[in-house]
Amino acid sequence: MARSKNYIFRKDDNGELLFQGDFEGYYQNHSDPWDQNSTDSDISEYYKVSRLKLLEVIKGIKSNKNILEIGCGLGLVTNMLDKELENSLVSGLDISVTAIHKAKAQYSNILFYEGNIADRKFKFEGQYDVVILNEMLWYVLEDIDLVINNIYEILNTNGCLIITMAFLNDQQYGKEIMNGYSGLLDYCRLRISSLFKIISKDFDTSKRFDYNYGIVCLRKL
C-alpha cells in the first residue's frame, strides 16, 4: 500500500503527529495514493462500503442536482457518483494540481477544479445543492471553522454538506480539536448550529474494518 507517511503527517521527536500537508508531493510520487483505486488492499473493502453509504445519503437528499466533492483526488468517487446519479452534475475540487491533472485526463466528461477550501481568500463561482467533504476532515482540522464558512458560501439555499471520514479506533492526531465521531457531532451541534442543522448521521460500530466509517449530513440554515 502506498502510505501517506511523511507526506501528510510526520512524527516529531516526542512521537507526536504533525500535519505536513504535502499533497502535491504525494500525488507526484505515488500513482495510487491511499490505495484509492485498489481492489485487494486492506482498505479496499472499507472504501466499497463507505462509498455506497455516501451514495445512499445523497440519493436521500431532495435537491441534489449540483454536487461538489471536495478532496476529490484522482476523481474515483466523483466518477462513481456521476455514473450513479444520472440527473446530477457532479464536480470535483482538490488542492493538488497533479491530482486534478490526472483526474481530468481520466474522466474528461467531469469538471475538476484545483483549489484550497482552507484558503482565507477562497473564491468559487459555482453554487451547489450538495457539497461533500470526503475523507479529508483531519487534513483541514486546524482550519475547520474557515473551511465550514467557505463551504457555507458555495451552498445554495437549503443546500447540504456531507462530511465523511474513516475514524481510527485510536486517534493519533487532533483530539484536542475534534475527538473522533462524537467530537464531530459535538462540533456540529455546538459550534456551527447557527449555520447548519444535522439531518442525518451514521456511524459503523461493527468493527469490520480498522477504520470506523462515520457520516454526517447537514442542511444549510
Whether residue 15 is contained in a domain is answered as: no
- Predicted pLDDT at 6: 84
Parent domain of 171: 39-220
Interval 134-145 mean pLDDT: 96
Whether residue 114 is contained in a domain is answered as: yes
Q: Domain tally for the chain?
A: 1
pLDDT band at 42 (very low <50, low <70, confident <90, very high): confident
pLDDT band at 2 (very low <50, low <70, confident <90, very high): very low
pTM for the full model? 0.95
What average pLDDT does the chain have? 94
Whether residue 186 is contained in a domain is answered as: yes
Return the percentage of the chain with pLDDT > 90, whole number: 81
Whether residue 180 is contained in a domain is answered as: yes
- Predicted pLDDT at 166: 93
Whether residue 176 is contained in a domain is answered as: yes
Whether residue 18 is contained in a domain is answered as: no
CATH number for 47: 3.40.50.150
- Predicted pLDDT at 168: 86
State the cell numbers at 63.
Answer: 435537491
- Predicted pLDDT at 91: 98
Whether residue 19 is contained in a domain is answered as: no
Whether residue 7 is contained in a domain is answered as: no
